[in-house]
Amino acid sequence: MITQLEPAAALSSFRPGHRFFVGIDSDGCAFDAMEIKHKECFIPATIRVWGLQAASTLVRETAEFVNLYSTTRGQNRWIALVRVFDLLAARPEIRARGVRVPASNRLREFIASGAPLSAAGLRAYAAAHPDPELTTALEWTTAVDAAIAAMVTGVPPFVGVRESLQAMSGDADLLVVSATPLEALQREWGEHGLADYMDLIAGQEMGTKVDHLRLATAGRYDPDHVLLIGDAPGDRDAAVAAGALFYPINPGHEEDSWRRFHSEALGHFLAGTYAGGYQEVLVHEFEALLPSSPPWL
């Protein structure tokens, strides 16, 4: 069951109940929510709030590439937004239409400031560094979260997630490791009865995914007893930075990935035969699915 401690205290006071630990990302990994959130919530808010109606088709194509179909899939919303603006500004079609793309200089400063990359972090930063661009950014993130709360309901976990959680629960401590706001995570995992399998849910308010893994596992588990399951290159990088193993949920092949985890990869992890060649084959297959350059270049 989920602990009732405050978020930061819950991570810092986390204590093992098993010899193994598995962190699991949420959107696009456990739940089929990436497409609906970006296509129906993030992108419409980006077009409306940032005044990009004159280039809506190009904004949609660019934002989908950044957030869903490339090596930047799953990045923090602020980092991804700046990437969208940079790619848009470089497109000749944008220049030909005379569309003004935000320079996002204040957002870059916020990202580089070390402040938490969350709505609360931006509000605090904007209070200390008032600027119209940050005011618009707050309007945007509020609109995105409101759209998600209204739109994203009844989205089930991928087939194989529940079965995998059941299979792991007797051998491993389980933690949601996500850059999604905590309120949305609690709602989505609770709606489908998956929260009951988790020892803790960690969202963006509790730091980065690397922070989640380090705070929950450092000095508490053997190195090859910690695994992160994720669907984005950022998840792979977080696992490496935290000294954890990584199991990829392949975009477009999520249910196949969960079936393989349940039937094969979990056994390797518990037997101590996951690290090395077995993991390398899976990661190579995963990396081949996500390009780094957009198709219009």
Confidence of residue 232 (pLDDT cuts 50, 70, 90): very high
What integer best gives the mean pLDDT of the chain? 94
pLDDT in tens, 54-106: 999 999 999 999 999 999 999 999 999 999 999 999 999 999 999 999 999 99
Q: What is the mean pLDDT of residues 271-285?
A: 97
CATH of the structural domain 7-32+157-287, one choice from 3.30.110.40, 3.40.50.300, 3.40.50.1000, 3.40.50.2300: 3.40.50.1000
In what side-by-side order are the strands of the sheet with 200-202? 200-202, 172-177, 20-24, 226-230, 245-248
Residue 4 confidence (pLDDT) above 70: no
Residue 203 · residue 188 · CB < 8 Å: no
DSSP string, 202-223: E-GGG--HHHHHHHHHTTTS-G
> What's the CA gap between 234 and 177, in Å, rounded?
12
Q: How do the domains of the chain map onto residue ranges?
A: 7-32+157-287, 34-151
Q: What is the mean pLDDT of residues 146-173?
A: 95
Q: What is the mean pLDDT of residues 178-189?
A: 90
Residue 136, classified by CB atoms within 10 Å of its CB into exposed (0-12), middle (13-18) or buried (19+), is: middle
pTM here is 0.89
Q: What percent of the chain has pLDDT over 90?
A: 85
